[in-house]
Structure 1
Amino acid sequence: MPTEVEGHGAFVLQAGPTEFTVVPGLGLLGTSLRHRGREFLVLRGQAEAVLAGHTTGLPLLAPWANRIGGDTYKVNRTRVDLSDAPGLHRDANGLPIHGTMIGRAGWVVDRAEALNGYARLSARFDAAAADEVMASFPFPHEITVGMRVRPGDLDVTTTITATGRRSVPASFGWHPYFQLPGEDPADLRVHLPTGDRLQLDDRMLPSGEEETGYSRKAPLVEPGYDDAYRLRANHRLLTVSGRSRQLTLAMDPGYEYGQVYSPPGERFVALEPMVAPINALGDGLTPMVAPGESYRARFRITLL
């Protein structure tokens, strides 16, 4: 199972016709998801892009996913100033985005094995020992990720454990870039869940308004998407389909929000599971993990 991707150590998890490649040294990045010989992940810019802080493939977004609405936030009595924090990535408006774990080394792989009918990997990252992570998120914690491949699906479980004396705000997510190989772009459709669509302002931050009971099936190529949703029970699926192929991302209740991103005219779509909404740290809307406790969230990708 061990291999290399662009000179970085990698693991290939294979079960029947399905294989997933993950690179611990690039932030535990998923670089390939193949089923019956066809590639379903998009790795724009390769390793160089990841090391520059750009999202591609299947990256973990932590300690927070998406944007924070400014350079300060407060959790309980702890006020955090991000103005000079190292390792931050910023969007076009200068807002901190997607945490500090993209492309980050330091992951420890505890287990990688192929068993009867499936393959799995478990890895952990001690954020409390990473000064650059703590500079913008001073809440000691450990991240553990379990990945399991079975024929036709990939299952990813993410756990954060509060390892210090402070409660830890849970605000992580994933940002997988998907494609449907061999499909005509004109045939691609995105199936959006029944839920509450968050209205976003011109900085892509929640305005406080929501469109309730939103559900939609629409072409991928036009008009493009950058939409955020509060998910509802029994409606935790994001799907992209074509004439002969379909990919579904199903989220357990640990993920209460989802984001759909695809610029107009592109053939890829990012279906993003998120624990908390955009600017959750700024708005105080994160679940809190008490010292010694854990928060766990799982999603599954199914390929047809």
Structure 2
Amino acid sequence: MALSGEQWNISYAGHEATIVEVGGGLRTFTVDGNAYVDGYFDDEVCPSGAGQVLAPWPNRLGDGRYEFEGETYQVALSEPAARNAAHGLVRWLRWQAVDVDPDSVTVECALPAQPGYPFPIVLRTRWSVGPYGLRAVHTAVNLGAKTAPFGLGVHPYLKVPGYAIGDLTLELPAKKRLKTDDRMLPVGEEPSTLTKTKLGDTVIDAAFTDLDRDADGNVQVRLTTADGRGVALWADESFGWVQVYTADQLEGERRRRAVAVEPMSCPPDAFRSGRDLVTLGPGQSWSGTWGISPLR
């Protein structure tokens, strides 16, 4: 059995993706055999968050400790050296398929109430491929009797087939960049200077907001070659933040091999700051949609 569990392969006219049971995330996405995400093999444990769904919070939660509606909660520290809880609680849970078609699969995870997060949430993602590329539609529903704090992000690593990231131009339509300390926790913000940047040796690991959007309300982050080919990640207005990471801290072949472009509904440490935090009342739901489109 694959270390990432059951595999669901979906395809449409040369567009192919593999969704996995462990974490419910994206393992591969190719078009005509060319990879547009830096995925992983089915005999690997998912490395560095590649393609994972991050909920009920994305990014870091400082000290794993937060207050919500007069109560104090403590979750386990997944980054003990930095005293952080990173990327939520569903990355290593098993998701089950609830609807499977040749070009799409819907997977579901029932996150039970637990110490530190006593809020039962059911999460669903519909992954599909088509002429638009890859699309993911996420929903979350609060099954409990109390209001729940919530955020969601996703962690794909984008690449342009045949090109090193230093040869690509990053187009990032964001006006603000979050400033962080050595624990990757927010300490302020500053104007973004990365609207259109030839990556070269540029090192980036930051969250961006105040995003410019197209006529459909989507933000588009692009990695392009000199002749305009490349890949775009787009996200709807449910995602007010984008984390960009040039993978400089990764080891071995994965170092600077791709660029993580992570749509997020809220910034790092939102459970403590409350900034853009979603609050789901009993029975309430949240949804957000994003996708990856090759530029050819």
| TM-score of the pair, normalised by structure 1 | 0.85
Amino acid at match of 1:9: E
1:233-271 C-alpha deviation (Å, 9 max, x unpaired): 516221111245311111101011110001347121000
Q: Is the 8 A contact 1:42 1:56 kept in 2?
A: no
Q: Which residues of 2 match residues 1-304 of structure 1 at below 5 A?
A: 5=2, 8-24=5-21, 26-43=22-39, 48-50=44-46, 54-82=47-75, 85=76, 88-90=77-79, 92-105=81-94, 107-114=95-102, 119-128=103-112, 134-207=114-187, 209-212=188-191, 214-234=193-213, 236-243=219-226, 245-264=229-248, 266-285=256-275, 286-304=277-295
Question: 1:221, 1:44 → 2: CA distance?
Answer: 25
Amino acid at match of 2:32: R
Code of the aligned partner of 2:290: F
Cα distance change on mapping 1:190 and 1:27 into 2, 3 Å? same
Structure 2 counterpart of 1:257, which letter?
W
C-alpha contact 2:166 2:201 (8 A) present in aligned 1: no
Question: CA separation in 1, counterparts of 2:5 and 2:167?
Answer: 36
Alpha carbons of structure 1 residues 186 and 140: separation in structure 2 relative to 1, 3 Å: closer
Residue type at the aligned position of 2:93? R
Which 10-residue stretch deviates more, 227-236 or 174-183?
227-236
Q: What are structure 2's unaligned runs of at least 5 residues?
A: 249-254
Tell me how far 1:215 sits from its aligned partner.
4.5
Change over 3 Å in CA distance of 1:80–1:7 after alignment to 2: closer
Q: Deviations over 1:273-301 (max 9, x none)?
A: 00111100011221211111101111111
CA distance in 1, matches of 2:78, 2:264: 18
Which runs of 5 or more structure 1 residues have no equivalent in the other structure? none
Contact map agreement 1:62 1:173 (CA 8 A) in 2: yes
Equivalent pairs: percent with the same residue?
26
Q: What is the deviation of 1:13?
A: 0.9
Count of residues paired in the alignment = 283
Query: SS in structure 2 opposite 1:96?
Result: strand
